[in-house]
Chains A and B, each alone.
Chain A
Amino acid sequence: MLQLERKKEENKDILRLIGEVDASNSILLDQSIQEILEQGATVLLIDGTELEYISSAGLGVFMSYLDDFSERGIRFAIFGLNEQVNEVFKILGLDRLIAIAPDLSTATRLTHES
């Protein structure tokens, strides 16, 4: 089960992922990010505090947008990942390609600096 919640805080678009992202629902994550981009986001933060699981299908969605983000100057970070999910990002070395922060305020600071 995956639930997606969007909110806007000042210039930040925050997408909260609740539950599990796998091959059956990664399309929903893809669509949400696409919509946010189409509406002209400048800062996109993924709130992973309630993300329990993510497979390569979901990781691949993030990876497929990394070039887009840098071309359009969109600042992107993921925050609040639990230990297990964070470890999955690290196995692949994604923590070197994506800004990963412990919490919203750190993520906000990271995206301001970049």
Chain B
Amino acid sequence: MGERTLMKGNEVLGEAAVRAGCRFYFGYPITPQNELTAYMAKRMDEVGGVFLQSESELAAINMIYGASAAGARAMTSSSGPGISLMQEGISYLAGAELPCVIVNVMRGGPGLGNIAPSQGDYFQATRGGGHGDYRTIVLAPYRVQEMADLTTLAFYLADKYRTPVVVLVDAVLGQMMEPVEFKEPDLPPLPPKDWAVGYMMGRPKRLVTSLYLAPGALERHNLHLKEKYERIEREEVRWEGVCLEDAEVVLVAYGTSARVCLGAVMRGRSEGRRIGLLRPITLWPFPWKVLRKVAEKVKAILVVEMSLGQLMEDVRLAVEGRCPVRLLGRPGGGVPTVREVSEKVEEMSDEGVESL
């Protein structure tokens, strides 16, 4: 504790999970998250946990279902194609209200795409991803340190709300190294898992299921889930603002794109430009309210993402026409540069807002 060590993002996700009490890891290798799987293979053995390289991502996510139903903290990780395969299982986990943490280190898509950094799985992560009416909490760190902190939080929120939590990062964060310090979490106690199945000695039968066949039963279940999601939307929105007070142009970005935007804010401010950054930390629940307030004061918003307008849709839903919203999107492995963002901001300022 208290010591800063240089670690790779992918490995930090694993170490933070182990420290959060995760003792079950199931996964199947895929670049650019392989270091996480490899780290868990080594680390689970050291702490007496279970590491299993499954025959497929489908198997992995269903193993998570089993471990979680028995009350254990469990995690899986993958990238685009593997996460797509897991969607059926994630829907079942959401339906059965099972807590777990799913890491997606995003690579370029669609299809097999490539192994370069991307943010193209935003829709999939924030809209549930699988079938049926559900949401998953989505946490989006932008530093290696925050990858540790938010993994800790992910396990906590998963248990608190009995829901799958997605930690969504891109390949830059997965592959890069930064100093990290694993902090002792300061989180309120959680209720006992009085729903978990397993040893039945001295207690009545329990059932973990996502199947509701009785007339009206599923509708009631869906409304119960909705109530839970509304509670999450009220209580768990997280975001960070940089230089928002007097900003005329505000950048909205998460993950690596937000790091690039931070560079553009620093550069812009040193040149006297009134530029700020709003960084959603929870992509769902999305920081609607703060963004709406920001939109009322600024001349324009520029969304910067490593995809083509996925984050921008949420920004527009929040802004509701209060100010112009522009996009700088780099898909398929392209990473925006500080220069590109700065030039786009200058262009927007020069054009004047009326024409945007």
Q: Are A and B physically bound partners?
A: no
Write the residues of chain B forming the contact surface with A, with a CB cutoff of 8 angstroms: none
A contact residues vs B (CB 8 Å cutoff): none
